């Protein structure tokens, strides 16, 4: 079985299978300017060593990671609504990061940092184990064609990697408007034993109040898609059986 620190290779090319297609897209002048001017304030360059999150944010606070922040609207809204949290965003689409930077500056947000890199690389190389309080993955690319399902971000090795990076008791929250992706998420989450479904086995969660309406959600809803949230907790005990809290023995 594939290990969480490996990438899945495309057999014909031996190139790793990615959950995204690198596309620069059309960047507006405003996005380009924002990237140039504000990257030093909010951006985090890819590095080969673990980040010191307290140093990065200049304080010790719960760390929420959003993977695939798109144009950043939800991230800005959450960061403003919850100044008590640190928010780290990851997005490979640079025009989206440019758009995010513009909003961060306009709204004088101080509790957000952003990385432009494949989330798998960031998690493997830059995030220590047990460092994150919450991971948010809102409307990951659905890759609807069957031959593209292997590109879906939510796969067992990736979830195991997230499990390592979350603190015990930490939250993994995903949302999607693609029914078969939602069911796939539920199936694979059930196979990663360190996660516990906050809504009870096999149940989708009611939308948590902190989740803003995102762009892709709006698009999905306009197509008549139903939105599903999955909220799981990382078990509060270590994975190895020996470190689980022991049951008190019966004195009889
Ligand atoms: C369908 S969009 C959703 C964007 C946003 N969350 C929303 O709901 O509007 C998915 C985003 O995830 C990004 N993405 C996909 N795979 C990624 C990866 N491995 N690392 C970082 N970003 C990724 C894509 O570039 C895209 O912007």
Q: What is the 3-state secondary structure (H, E, C) of 22-70?
A: CCCCCCCHHHHHHHHHHHHHHECCCCCCCCCHHHHHCCCCCEEEEECCC
* Residue indicated by tokens 């719960």: 62
pLDDT digits 0-9 by tens, 36-91: 999 999 999 999 999 999 999 999 999 999 999 999 999 999 999 999 999 999 99
74's tokens = 């939800």
Mutation to probe ligand 1, out of 4, 22, 68, 140 (largest number of atoms < 8 A from CB): 68
Q: Tell me, what's the pLDDT at 11?
A: 56
250's tokens = 């019966």
pTM of the model: 0.90
- In the chain, how many H helices and how many E strands? 8, 7
pLDDT digits 0-9 by tens, 194-246: 999 999 999 999 999 999 999 999 999 999 999 999 999 999 975 544 444 43
DSSP E strand stretches across the chain: 63-67, 86-90, 112-115, 132-138, 166-176, 195-197, 228-234
> Three-class SS of residue 234?
strand
- Choice among 14-18, 66-70, 150-154, 206-210 with the minimum mean pLDDT: 14-18
Residue 251 has pLDDT above 50, yes or no: no
Residue 23 has pLDDT above 60, yes or no: yes
The β-bridge relationship of strands 228-234 and 112-115 is unpaired
Pocket of ligand 1 (CB under 6 A): 19-20, 67-70, 90-93, 96, 118-120, 138-141, 153, 214-217
What's the CA gap between 193 and 204, in Å, rounded? 17
CA-nearest of 224, 182, 184 to 207 is 182
What's the CA gap between 182 and 194, in Å, rounded? 19
What's the CA gap between 251 and 87, in Å, rounded? 48
**Which sequence positions are flagged as catalytic?**
141
Q: Rounded mean pLDDT of 173-200?
A: 97
Are 73 and 106 in contact, with CB atoms under 8 Å apart? no
């Amino acid at each position: 079985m594939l290990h969480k620190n490996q990438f899945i290779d495309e057999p014909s090319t031996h190139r790793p299978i990615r959950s995204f297609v690198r596309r620069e897209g059309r960047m507006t002048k405003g996005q380009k300017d924002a990237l140039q001017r504000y990257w030093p304030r909010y951006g985090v360059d890819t590095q080969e060593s673990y980040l010191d999150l307290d140093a990065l944010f200049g304080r010790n606070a719960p760390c929420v990671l959003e993977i695939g922040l798109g144009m950043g609207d939800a991230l800005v809204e959450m960061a403003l609504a919850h100044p008590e949290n640190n928010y780290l965003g990851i997005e490979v689409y640079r025009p989206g990061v440019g758009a995010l930077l513009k909003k961060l500056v306009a709204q004088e947000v101080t509790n957000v940092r952003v990385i432009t890199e494949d989330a798998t690389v960031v998690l493997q190389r830059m995030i220590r184990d047990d460092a994150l309080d919450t991971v948010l993955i809102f409307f990951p690319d659905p890759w609807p064609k069957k031959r593209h399902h292997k590109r879906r971000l939510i796969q067992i090795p990736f979830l195991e990697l997230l499990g390592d990076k979350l603190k015990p008791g930490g939250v993994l929250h995903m949302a999607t408007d693609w029914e078969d992706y939602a069911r796939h998420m539920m199936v694979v989450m059930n196979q990663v034993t360190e996660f516990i479904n906050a809504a009870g086995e096999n149940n989708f969660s009611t939308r948590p109040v902190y989740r803003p309406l995102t762009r892709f959600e709006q698009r999905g809803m306009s197509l008549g898609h139903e939105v599903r949230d999955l909220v799981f907790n990382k078990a509060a005990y270590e994975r190895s059986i020996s470190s689980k809290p022991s049951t008190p023995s019966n004195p009889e």
